[in-house]
Copies of this chain bind each other. A is one copy, B any other.
Amino acid sequence: MAASIPEVVVLRLPLYLRALALLEEEKKEMTSSQELGERLLMTPAQIRKDLSYFGKFGTQGKGYNVSQLLSELRRIMGLEREWACALIGVGRLGRALLDYSGLDRQGFHIVAAFDIDPQQIGNMVRGLVIQGISELSAAVKGRDINIGIVAVPPSQAQYAIDCLVGCGIKAILNYAPVTPRVPRDIRIYGIDPVLALQTLTFHLKNLSTP
């Protein structure tokens, strides 16, 4: 299924999930593509088209049952289970991620932490002993880790990612400001504030020169 669905649609699925979870918290039973569109600043048509990739949801005139659509989307996205993650890089950013309770709450558990700096190895951080990269492979197998999170400086990023790939990890969240080379079957998602700010300045520039 995944191959035939445009990546932009996949990128929007978590937004639908977030909006539906909020509606559920508000005890709303039903919703519509209009209501979702208003909350997500999207057109209702776009939302209906996106959802149509995954099957038939909702009833004409009645809309979507909130908790039903929520659990369908969670299943489609592989979120009916918990996921174990390995963190590589325990500097300030890595520690902020370990501190962020939102990850655990959403079913993503950092169960092992690694660093390349020998000074860090052996230290405790939020209940985890920081390990050396040489222990990554055993941890991935022993703890059923499927996701790697890379929070190392740019110069170490390709090495950290190569290590994760070598251990059989297929999904990587990369905070280092580089575009790493990975085999075709590896899914990598980069988070870089500079790239985000650069898309914002594009819009600022085009606001001021109409």
Contacts and interface: CB of A to CB of B under 8 A. Distances in A.
A64 interface: no
A187 B1 CA distance: 32
A78 B196 contact: no
B92 A194 contact: no
A184 B41 CA distance: 8
A118 to B, nearest CB: 22
A2 to B, nearest CB: 3
The bracket for how many chain A residues form the interface is 35 or more
Contacts of A185: 207
A45 interface: no
Contact of A18 (B1, B14, B100, B179): B179
Contacts of A106: 194, 197-198
A10 B199 contact: yes
A173 interface: yes
Nearest to A8: B8
Nearest to A185: B207
A204 to B, nearest CB: 5
Contacts of A199: 10-11, 13-14, 189
